[in-house]
Every structure is written in structure tokens, then in C-alpha cells.
Chains A and B, each alone.
Chain A
Amino acid sequence: MTEEIIIAGFGGQGVLSMGKILAYSGIMEDKEVTWFPSYGPEMRGGTANVTVIVSDGRISSPVLHEYDTAIILNQQSMDKFEQAVKPGGVLIYDPNGIIRPPKRTDINIYKVEGTRAAIEMGNPKVFNMIVLGGYLKVKPVVTLQNVERGLEKSLPPRYHNMIPLNLTAIRKGGEILEAMPKP
């Protein structure tokens, strides 16, 4: 199994940390992982993206031009990465701020209203975990138990009290995931 993922959105949305949690969780399952971020000007406010690869075997390139899954959190990223999903692949997006929804018919598209659900949960910051939960429902590359262990590893101890909230958010994402009908 090799899963090649791009997560893309605005800097500050938690794009890199979503990838990091996924990567840590992969390690907890004894998988090989690569986390390759866009760095530099992007992380200072513009668009940010991270490529995460989780595999049972040796990982070749950290740099990719097509992906099994794209997790899209803003319009610029949709414009950039919709076409980069492999045919038969998966595109998951949060509709908040998306004015041109994805149109491809040869991939599986899912919507996760993460921003709205996060506000309803009273903590807008966990929206990225809700979206991650949607992804893990579609592609259970790591178990929830290992995500919990991944969170313990990736978060400094002073934030460990936030882990239950994050896990609730991940479960929520799985519940509100919506498969978009193909036209």
C-alpha cells in the first residue's frame, strides 16, 4: 500500500499540522512516511501545502505531480490541485470559501463541512481535524487509535488535554462526510 496525499489551503489553517499528525500516525503503524511541506513565503500567510506519503515499503520521491488524494481547503488550492488527482483518486474539500466546486467526473469527490461543524462544536480551530476525520473515513490508512498515539507524539505535553477534543473532531468528520454525486 502506498498513499500519496496533497493537503492544501491557506497558511494558518493547520495544513502542515494535519499532515504531521497523519505522518506521526503512520509511524505508529510501522509504515514508512514522508512529509514534504511548501516552505518559505507561503507559510507567512499565502497558500500552504504539504505532500504526505504513507507506504508499506520504501518511498521513492517526496515530490509528486499527481496524487491518490487531494485535501483542499481553499479556492486557490482547488484551482491548482483538482487536475493533479490521479484518475479514480479522491478529492476531499471543505466548501467554505469555495466558489468553483470541483467538476471532474473521473475521480471520487467528497465534501466535509468542517468549518461549519467546528463553529457548531464551539472551537473553529479543530476544523482541520474534522476534515482529516472525513479523509480517514474514505481512506482508513491509519486507525483512530494510532491517530491518538500520533497526537501524543506530535503535540507538546502542555496540549495533551486537547487530544480528546481533536479525536471528537475526527469522529465528527467521519459522520458529516458527504459523497458528491457524479453528474
Chain B
Amino acid sequence: MGELRLMKGNEVLAEAAVRCGCDGYFGYPITPQSEVMETLMELQPWTTTGMVVLQAESEVASINMLYGAAATGKKVMTSSSSPGISLMAEGISYIAGAELPCLIVNVQRGGPGLGTIQPSQADYFQAVKGGGHGDYKLIVLAPASVQEMNDFVELAFELAFKYRNPAMILTDGAIGQMMEKVELSDHKPRWTSEEVRQKWGSWATVGKVPGRPHNVITSLELDSGKMEVNNLRFQEKYRKMEAEEVRFEEIMCEDAEYILIAFGTSSRICQKSIELARAKGIKVGLLRPITLYPFPRQAVANLARRAKGFLVVEMSAGQMIEDVKLAAFDAGLSLPVEYFGRMGGILPSPGEVVEALEEKLIKK
């Protein structure tokens, strides 16, 4: 059993990074995630594990420091909130194009623009569809508790290195700011230089050894033929992720006639809505995508075969609902798929979700 603590989600991200042997953090403060760097500065891991913590001059600088550090095969990360992630978009595309593993955390706030500092999930499209330019994908994990803020840091690094691809933890101000009981992971040592050379020496800039060609890190390829080959390789990698890395949770779906579909904070709110709805005799369950990319398309299709309807609950104008509809459509299934959500930093209440379920699906 690991160490039990009462901590904020943001603080846990920092603890988990140090404990999983992260080599470097590069960031720039922004509400509601500033506690990530604050906690790292308090922990001073450079005096213990040797992890670098650096406050850059901007988000653009952070993401490019991350790009450079990731090129060396080190376990590195950054974190920001919505407007900051937009500033990083170019760098994220470059990192994906150069096929480098790293972790980017987005503790979302309400947008668009500078928006508000309250929680939101309106960066779903940005996280799973692109954000930056070009045909690339991030591995996107959506924690729904402070415990998962701990667990997903290590998981994100594991997946990032497995696929040589940037991973994102997509969370929001609610989980970042709230405190829950968390079992912290045990301390793991950072990889030694020798370990990095052994594990990632085939691609990382770890110093050239005689007889081996140069490892070149770039997203630039002026020969279109070669660039298409690169793209085909990326796509093959994304198909492998879709086949092997889908993660989701089903809650009370066994006998459910209606299914709520929600991730992160919304999925927690929906769990309360289920308690309230079941007390009224409504048989409702929850599908919670944990990986937003790769999206649990098969799980959606399986539930679409037997449910009377879906209500997709999001803290946005309805973004994930498009992937839900596509998953059902591609499986040749047709059922009512409705949306309920709040925007701009307002959280849906559990009662509102039940009302929406009754109005949009049951009374119809």
C-alpha cells in the first residue's frame, strides 16, 4: 500500500511526476493549474532525484524545451490550461511529427479566448482531433478522480514511450483544484544515462557511437514521397493504439435502458445523477471513456445495440457527442443520441442531468 494523502489533483500531478522518475518539467503558470509547478518548486526534486523543474518565459518556450528534452530520450512533461495549450499547439504538432514521447497536461478552463478560470471540457476537439496542424494524434487520458491524476502520469509516460508519441492528460479545473484521498505511487528511480542509451539509443540523441548512423530528430521532410511514408507510418501506429489501448469504465450498465456518456468531471456528476434517477425507478448507466483517443468506439457500439438512448453529458457545447454518433453510425446502429451540458466554466448539476434525461429521452 502506497502513502495515503489528502491532496489537490494539481499537487498530485507534481508528486506523481517526481515519484515515477520524471527527468524534467518545463512550464509557465496559469490558473487553474499553477499548483503543479508550485508543488514541484516546493518538492525541489533537483535536490533528490535530480529532476529539472524550469519556469520558462512563455508557453511557447516551454513546449520547445519539452521538444528538445524529449529528443534525448528523457521522461519529460509540461502542464498548462486551455489558452496556454493553444500557444503550445505548434510545438505539439512538431513533437508528434518528430515522434517523440512526452507528457502534456491540460487542466482545462472555460473558453474560447482567455475565457474564464472555472472548469470546462471544451478542449476535447483540440485534444483528440488536432489542435496543431497535420495528421497527428495524441494519446489522450481523461482522469475522473484525484487518484487517477496520480495513476495516469505513469500510464501516460508508459504509453508515450511505447508508441514514441506525445500523450496528454486532459483534465479540468475541478479535478485540479479538488482534494481527495489519494494513494501515491512508490518512488521509482530515474533512468540512468546508460538505461536511456539501451532503451532509446536507436532514435534518441544520446551521443553517436561509431558504426551507428546519426539519430536525426526533425519533423521536416521536404521530399513529399518520404513525407507520405512518414505519414503512413504514423497512421499505422495510430491504428495499433486504436486496437490495443482503448480504456473505458462501465457503471451500472448491465440492466440499463438509458446510457449517460461522459468523461472526467462530468462522469463524476453523472454518477450522482444515476443514484438520483435510479431512486426514481429509471434504469440508467454510465459509459466513461478513459482514453478519449483512442476512443472506445466498440464499447459505444455494444451499448447502442441494447440501449433505448444515449445522453452525452459534457462541459462544452457538445464535442464528444460527435464521436459517440460516429461510433454508433459506423456500426450501422441508429438510436437517439442527445446532448446535455453547460459551458463557460459552469458545472452541470446532478439534478439537471436527470431532468435532461427525462425531457430529451424518456418523455419522447
Contacts and interface: CB of A to CB of B under 8 A. Distances in A.
B360 interface: no
Given A27-B181, A35-B180, A40-B31, A62 B268 contact: yes
B268 A27 contact: no
A77 interface: no
Contacts of A27: 4, 6, 181
Interface string B320-364: 000000000000000000000000000111111000000000000
B31 A62 contact: no
Contacts of A171: none
A: contact size bracket: 20 to 34
27 contacts: A20-B6, A24-B6, A27-B6, A33-B6, A33-B180, A34-B179, A35-B6, A35-B178, A36-B174, A37-B178, A39-B31, A40-B32, A41-B117, A60-B271, A60-B272, A60-B350, A61-B269, A61-B272, A62-B178, A62-B180, A63-B268, A63-B272, A63-B348, A64-B350, A65-B349, A65-B351, A153-B6
B173 interface: yes
Contact of A66 (B271, B347, B351): B351
Contacts of B271: 60-61
A32 interface: yes
A70 interface: no
A44 to B, nearest CB: 11
A104 B167 CA distance: 51
Nearest to B268: A61
Nearest to B273: A61
Interface string B180-199: 11000000000000000000
Contacts of A61: 268-273, 350
B263 to A, nearest CB: 14
B174 A63 contact: yes
Given A61-B272, A63-B269, 15 more contacts: A33-B179, A34-B179, A35-B178, A37-B177, A40-B31, A40-B117, A60-B272, A60-B275, A61-B268, A61-B350, A62-B174, A63-B265, A63-B350, A64-B349, A65-B350
Contact of A20 (B179, B270, B350): B179
Interface in A37-84: 37, 39-41, 59-66
A37 B32 CA distance: 12
A23 interface: yes
B119 to A, nearest CB: 9
Nearest to B352: A65
Contacts of B4: 27
B230 interface: no
B118 interface: yes
A66 B117 CA distance: 24
Contacts of A20: 6, 179
Contacts of A35: 6, 178-180
Given A27-B6, A39-B32, A40-B31, A64 B177 contact: no
Contacts of B268: 60-63
Interface string B131-173: 0000000000000000000000000000000000000000001
Contact of A40 (B118, B181, B348): B118
Contacts of A36: 174, 177-179
Contacts of A65: 349-352
A105 B200 CA distance: 69
A146 to B, nearest CB: 13
A59 B174 CA distance: 15
Nearest to A58: B271
Contacts of B273: 61
Interface string B102-130: 00000000000000011000000000000
A60 B268 CA distance: 5
Contacts of A23: 6, 179
Interface string A140-183: 00000000000001100000000000000000000000000000
A32 B181 CA distance: 7
Nearest to A41: B117
Interface string A106-133: 0000000000000000000000000000
